[in-house]
Amino acid sequence: AQTVTQSQPEMSVQEAETVTLSCTYDTSESNYYLFWYKQPPSRQMILVIRQEAYKQQNATENRFSVNFQKAAKSFSLKISDSQLGDTAMYFCAFTSPRDDKIIFGKGTRLHILP
Amino acid sequence: DARVTQTPRHKVTEMGQEVTMRCQPILGHNTVFWYRQTMMQGLELLAYFRNRAPLDDSGMPKDRFSAEMPDATLATLKIQPSEPRDSAVYFCASGLGKRISDTQYFGPGTRLTVL
């Protein structure tokens, strides 16, 4: 069975700093997708970034980028020039086309300090 | 600005009562997902529909939960009878793709408290 692990329950960084959130996963599949979702205090889940496993290139979205290490089964999220609005819970998620399930990690609560 | 809407946003009920949560997917989206979020279990997929047909409800307790799509603009999740352990935030999400890996747009959630 697939698993997703986020080892950092909570983190705090100063505004404008760079922060990296870690995520590891376990699967025997070769074709799959990985996601980072943001859940601010408003509770709305927002897709931050999506990575397809067969693509070597790391996905980026403005200040958000991932470091996808397929062999190590690692999928970390880097937030550059962090802003107060980045304060939220961040969830890593995994899905594979073969079983059509989605599995979320337990989340990392990120605080951006002024 | 197209959004997924969910009603009610908050619901407090007594154990044993029926609870119905509603979701209006983004117009034109053909896939609808129901999730449950708790502190202990995190975020879990309960069920999802494509073109109004249920594709997978293996994450849902069958004895008391039911999910339906009476039409393309409405999805419902019903709990009967409700129990305190059902207290959670229930999210609906919708998407345009054929696969669960395609982008999903989440609603604001319904916070359910069962006393």
User: What's the angle, vertex CA A77, arms to CA A72 and CA A80, rounded to 5?
Assistant: 140
Q: Which amino acid is at B112?
A: L
Q: Over the stretch B49-93, which tens digit does the pLDDT of each residue have? A: 998 988 888 889 889 999 999 999 999 999 999 999 999 999 999
Q: Is A41 within 8 Å of chain B by CB?
A: no
A contacts of B106 (beta carbons < 8 Å): 44-46
The type of residue at A93 is A
The two counts, helices (H) then strands (E), for chain B are 0, 11
Q: Which chain B residues contact residue A106 at CB under 8 A? A: 42
Residue A103, C-beta contacts closer than 8 angstroms, at least 6 positions apart:
A2, A3, A4, A93, A94, A95
Spatial distance between the Cα atoms of A104 and A79, rounded to a whole number of angstroms: 20
pLDDT at A29 over 80: yes
Q: Cα B104 vs. chain centroid, distance in angstroms? A: 13
**Which residue in chain A has the smallest CA separation from B59?**
A101
Asked whether the predicted pLDDT for residue A1 surpasses 80, the reply is: no
Distance between CA atoms of residues B75 and B18, nearest Å? 16
Q: What's the pLDDT tens digit per position in A32-44?
A: 999 999 999 988 8
pLDDT tens by residue, A47-91: 999 999 998 899 999 999 999 999 999 999 999 999 999 999 999
Residue A74 Cα, gap to closest chain B Cα (Å): 18
